[in-house]
Amino acid sequence: MTTADLTPATIDRVADAMSGFGVEVNKAEQLEVAKANLNGLSVTFAILGSVLIVRAEADSGIDTKTADATWYLAANQLNSTTASARAVIVDAFETLVVRTERSLPVAAGVSDEQLAAGLRYCVDQVITTHDALRTVAEQISEQMGAQTPEA
């Protein structure tokens, strides 16, 4: 095998792999980015060099001006106790955005089977972590009498 035989990971290959799972992704023009709606979450797939980022996000519905620490505490708890996807709370918009993210090394030469297996794992992890984050936030909210999370 020569370096000419090494197929790079592309967003087209990601789209093909996801279609094998029955998921249609919408590719951005001229960018190595695609999006899909999975389980009510906006999931972004982005190729950054030799890394594929899989990110799920949802609007929490909680105004950033009145938000308490519930979502931040939930993200910190998950990030310190699990090795799956990472949880991030974004407060740069009018409402808090809840994100979970996982990266996958996809150096040139990754086979279609390896890419599909890695994608399935990453998607499962970001969705599972998102669900776990919601659960932890609800538990914290109940304990502290804080705003009930919606994302």
Write out the residue range of the structural domain in which residue 125 sits. Answer: 3-144
pTM: predicted TM-score of the whole model, two decimal places:
0.87
In a domain, 150, yes or no: no
Classify 105 as helix, strand or coil.
strand
- pLDDT tier for residue 7 given thresholds of 50, 70 and 90: confident
Report how many domains make up the chain: 1
In a domain, 132, yes or no: yes
The pLDDT tens digits for 33-49 are 999 999 889 999 999 98
Stretch 110-115: mean pLDDT, rounded?
A: 92
Q: Report pLDDT for 129.
A: 93
Work out the burial of residue 26: count CB atoms within 10 Å of its CB; fewer than 13 is exposed, 13-18 middle, 19 or more buried: exposed
Distances (CA, A) of 41 to 81, 92, 120: 23, 19, 16
- Average confidence score pLDDT of the chain: 88
Residue 55 CA to residue 92 CA, distance in Å, equals: 17
CATH, residue 129: 3.30.1460.10
Residue 73 CA to residue 70 CA, distance in Å, equals: 5
